[in-house]
Amino acid sequence: MTFGRTLIVIALVTACSPSSQDQSAVGDPGLRDQLLARVARDQAIRDTSVVQMRETGTNTPALIRSEQAVDSANLAWLKPQLERAGFPTMAQVGRDGVFAAALLVQHADDDPSFQAAVLPQIEAAFKAGVVSGEWVALLTDRVAKAQGRPQRYGTQATMTGVRLVIDPIADSAQVDARRAAMGLPPLADYKRMLDSVYAPPQAP
């Protein structure tokens, strides 16, 4: 199983909660509500997945199908929305709505071409100070992996048996410098963080 659903994404759930911003402060509260509701479903199924991984070291086929169904439904809604109006702005949906849109793009793995098309918009949001560098790093690596290229920031990992293995990285000697530029911890710390979430319990 591949893990692009990292602690970074999990930690941003509170930032995407409906109570984190006054709806009167955004230009399109209906769009914001849709984004936050879809992220809530996204994170609920992933919370269940994390618990099961910690307890058993694997996910059931039924849970995997449920996660894929949530992602597919979100993609079917999100793609025409972004193609029609572009990536949402803070003025439209608030910071939490922008974060929600970024998270949904991360999990749109059924359509790597869509993710690649949105990446420049995420990069622009980062340069404008709207989203943090971790969103750029995550999506850059997901796009690279989907295209069969080594990742740049080391955010993507694959579960092999009971071991979590970081996927190949281009110019790995400089990866920590690139991660630091995006506000990410060193790769070794990140790997320990992933292990603490996804690794199954050790036998006594």
Report domain extents, the chain: 2-198
The encoded tokens of residue 2 equal: 């591949």
pLDDT at 23: 55
pLDDT at 52: 82
The neighbour count for residue 108, using CB atoms within 10 Å, is: 23
The closest alpha carbon to 190, from 201, 178, 202, 200, belongs to 178
SS3 158: strand
Q: What is the pLDDT along the chain (204 residues), one digit of tens a residue?
A: 344 333 334 333 333 444 445 555 889 999 999 999 999 999 999 989 888 877 777 778 888 899 999 999 999 999 999 999 999 999 999 999 999 999 999 999 999 999 999 999 999 999 999 899 999 999 999 999 999 999 999 999 987 766 788 999 999 999 999 999 999 999 999 999 888 877 665 545
DSSP for 144-156, written as a single string: HHHTT--BSS---
pTM over 0.85: no
